[in-house]
Amino acid sequence: MDNKEQKITSDVEQSLPQLNKEAEKKDETINSTSLPIKKEEKGQSTLNSDADFSSIFNVESEEKKEPTPTGQTKVETPEANAPKVEVQEPKPPKKEPNPNAFNGQERLLYEIKPEKEGNPIVVVLFFLFLFTTIIALPYFSKKIDLSIFKSSTPTQPVEQEEEEYYYFNKSSVRAAIGNLEFTNFVKYQENGEYFVRFMVANNDEKPYQFDKKYYIVLYEDETILYRALIHSYDAIGSLGVSEVAATISEKSYNDADRFKIEEITESQYPTVRLIEEDGDYQVLTCNYHNDEIKYYFLDGKLNSLKETYTEERDSSTTYNDDLIKYRNLSLDYKKIENFQSTFVEDSTSFSMINSFNHKDISDATLYNLKTYKFFKYNESKEVVSFELEAQGYTCS
């Protein structure tokens, strides 16, 4: 052996007596503890099964070592073997996202400040201004021109209709519109022409001049067959009654079972497009039985007319009476200044030809003639066409 090995051997031999002494002391310590020993009859001793050895033997269990917060291994102590009671700590309240947060920071959008006490003088002045405005409003409304707020788009004709129908087969029909009352409606035929005759009562205290355009609208079920103009040149006196006849078509005479009475204004008349031309004039031609009238318009305004009435002897049962009637009528027309009338007669027929320029004859003179076909100067083509057709004529 070398010197190092001899030295280590001697050190071990010197330490053995000391280790033996410590072992003996440990044995004495174990024997001195309260180990209950029960001696058997055969001289052998056993340990008491009821003894608690936990204080003598410290058997380390193979439990898992939990890491400490610093990453070191935690050594279990006897207190760690005790059953643990877990206490659930309350969770902190969940913070809702703030909709007014901008980039994680909240900003003040609006601050509600306490209202200040109102000034009573301001309140009094406000109500005084409001009261003055209400009082003065009717005056200002009369002075302000509101036409600028009205639409410049022309309104389309809208047919006005009453709510109630009247039936020809009922003798007790009483139709009222405005201050007029219509009764005793009767359809009848005369000399190849068809009419509706009725009574008109004026319930007003002033005469009625037929200044409004009232029409009898004749129906077959829901279909309009004809519109007949209620027209007369004779006024109805105050609280008076007059008999009036309106010309209707043959179909409406035969098929119409009910009717209404309506006011139709000139703005509701349909637009008329004239196709026929004669020089600078646009011509509207209207026919009814033996009568033909040509109306000449300049820029849609009535300027002149030419009427030709012709009746054949063989086609008329009232030929002789009509011959005398129209001859005398032509003589009356010749008496009017600027009115040209010619009467022509032969063995088989007669004709009356009338013509004049409207601007050469006053409207009052034409009105006194009491004939519906002589309209006033510059009358529109829509009025001439619609009102003549409402009296039996066909216009094109």
pLDDT at 236: 92
Confidence band of 115 (pLDDT split at 50, 70, 90): low
Q: Encode the chain in three state secondary structure.
A: CCHHHHHHHHHHHHHHHHHHHHHHHHHHHHHHCCCCEEECCCCCEEECCCCCCCCCCCCCCCCCCCECCCCCECCCCHHHHCCCCCCCCCCCCCCCCCCCEECCEECCCCCCCCCCCCCHHHHHHHHHHHHHHHHHHHHHHHHCCHHHHCCCCCCCCCCCCCCCCEECCCCCCEEEECCEEEEEEEEEEECCEEEEEEEEEECCCCCECCCCCEEEEEEECCEEEEEEEECCCCCECCCCEEEEEEEECHHHHHHCCEEEEEECCHHHCCCCCCCEEECCEEEEEEEECCEEEEEEEECCEEEEEEEEEEEECCCCCCHHHHHHHHHHHHHHHHCCCCCEEEEEECCCEEEEEEEEEHHHCCHHHHHHCCCCCCCCCCCEHHHHHHHHHCCCCEEC
Query: Average of pLDDT values for 98-117?
Result: 53
pLDDT tens column, 209-240: 988 999 999 999 889 999 999 988 889 999 99
Query: Average of pLDDT values for 75-84?
Result: 48
161, pLDDT greater than 50? no
pLDDT at 380: 96
Domains and CATH numbers, the chain: 166-264 (2.60.40), 268-395 (3.30.1830.10)
pLDDT at 106: 54
Query: Average of pLDDT values for 179-208?
Result: 91
Query: Average of pLDDT values for 54-74?
Result: 45
Greater pLDDT, 62 or 249: 249
Average pLDDT, rounded, for the chain: 76
pLDDT at 163: 53
Confidence band of 127 (pLDDT split at 50, 70, 90): confident
Greater pLDDT, 122 or 214: 214
Query: Average of pLDDT values for 107-113?
Result: 53
